[in-house]
Amino acid sequence: MNSAGGREVPESDPPCEQPARAEAPPVMTDVPKDEREAPGPSSPLGALAADVAAVGPEPPPAVAAPLDGEAAAGTESLPSDQDLSKVTAFAPLEIVEVNDLDWKAVLNRASPSSIRSEIRSTVERMEGLLDRADGPGMLFDKFRADPTDKVIKISDFDAEIPLWIIGDLHGDLLALEAALAAMRQPDLQPGEGPPRILFLGDLFDDEGFSLEILLRVFELIVDAPDRVCVIAGNHDEALSYDGVRFSSSVTPSDFADFLNANLTHEWIERAGKLAVRLFTNAPRALFFPDGLLAAHGGFPLVDLHPGLAESGEWNNPMCLSDFVWTRAHPKARRKLPNRFSHGSQFGYEDFAAFCSLSAGLGRPVTHMVRGHDHVEERYASFPAYRANPLLTTVALSRRLSREAFGLYERVPTMARYVEGALPRVYRLHIPVEMIRAYYPQPAADSIDNHPSQEPQA
């Protein structure tokens, strides 16, 4: 399917082979530094190496690239042919290549100084929205079981109105404005009514323009609160304020440092307090009627299943934490939960077990969309999860300083809800020279990729 905005390509085992290049299924090459540390053998990297022994015969072991600092495990395998014969068929993941946006207009909209110039108005409007006695009335709030419900079961969803899904931004204002511009393209947005936006969390940290991203999302919320939902990511949840200073329980945490350096700036401080307020009560997971689960990280891991089956208490703090913090392993069957830090991973059989559990609790899950893992291609749908597909999407146009490998310029992605299937992926081909000008590549001996001045056209 061709359009002025891009080319749509179905694929069975994404990422597909793009013209003139062949790509293997992606593996995560960044080494996360956003986990709380625990000493000795209980440290994140130590605990991540533990696999549950697989049940039944195993095919010959395959050597996989290490994931998030973990040694390759020889006991991991893809589902067998017998397993796949029982898999419910999902439509192939669809990819749309977006090339033909007005990139000059995108760059003009991604002006940090223009966004900061409206900080007082934006902050005051957002404070007024959060102060409303009946709540802010954001997208999906009406489905909360009570005002504090953070695991929302959506009972009625109009799939004809577009829902766009944006993963980790980490201060990437250029990628956000490209995504918003693509949403406005008529040929990329079939359906009726103005678009709705679901942010999967992690708006700030990792240099970039964290304050401006926050203010821009505030603008989108106050302009149409019933069309915007923001799920809390681990960096969002980790930000706190004690009445004197801001702090964060993750690394990197440069946004908290920035806020503390500007405590004498009234509107920057108030913007930081608003972020804490917003994410304190933000959803941690959304259950859609067609079986789609949306969260930043994952789902309650297997050690929580007995208690969850007995109580049905989705807002248990440990369940909420797993929705935010857990990571997907691309090939493992199962992973042992790590309760000494936030470093847990899950495998495809863990996800299948959760799908079975959730169905028994009246919230059927068959597939998932998430962020959290900064895959090199900026999207991934691992073949091992064929029975219950899982899509990872992040909107990052540059290689972060904690990502060890790959090109500096990246193709950020977003996705659009498709009923009964994985969301459709949109790859935003921002011109390389624009990314380089907006985010000058740091020197080889530098870890700072925060632009030193206003980006130039």
Q: What residues form DSSP beta bridges with 10?
A: 94
Token couple for 291: 């079986």
How far is the C-alpha of 157 from the C-alpha of 406, rounded, in Å? 39
DSSP assignments along 31-53, one per residue: ----S----GGGSHHHHHT-BPP
CA distances from 214 to 23, 77, 274 (A): 34, 41, 10
CB-side neighbour CA atoms (13 Å) of 341: 22
Q: How many CA atoms lie within 13 A of 444 on its CB side?
A: 0
93 pLDDT more than 70: yes
Among 270, 333, 4, CA closest to 119: 270
| Percent of the chain predicted with pLDDT > 90 | 72
The whole-model pTM stands at 0.82
**Whether residue 44 has pLDDT greater than 50:** no
Out of 33-37, 41-45, 430-434, the most confident range is 430-434
Phi, psi for residue 434 in degrees, rounded to 5: -70, -40
Ranges assigned E (strand) in 232-385: 239-241, 246-248, 285-287, 292-295, 327-328, 345-346, 367-370, 379-380
Residue 318 phi/psi, 5° resolution? -70, -35
Give residue 33's pLDDT. Answer: 52
pLDDT tens string 191-236: 667 899 999 999 999 989 999 999 999 999 999 999 999 999 999 9
Summarize pLDDT for 221-280 with one digit per residue, the tens: 999 999 999 999 999 999 999 999 999 999 999 999 999 999 999 999 999 999 999 999
Distance set, CA 231 to CA 150, 200, 273, 312, 451 (Å): 9, 5, 17, 21, 27
Q: Which two structure tokens, joined as six digits, stand for 113?
A: 């100084």
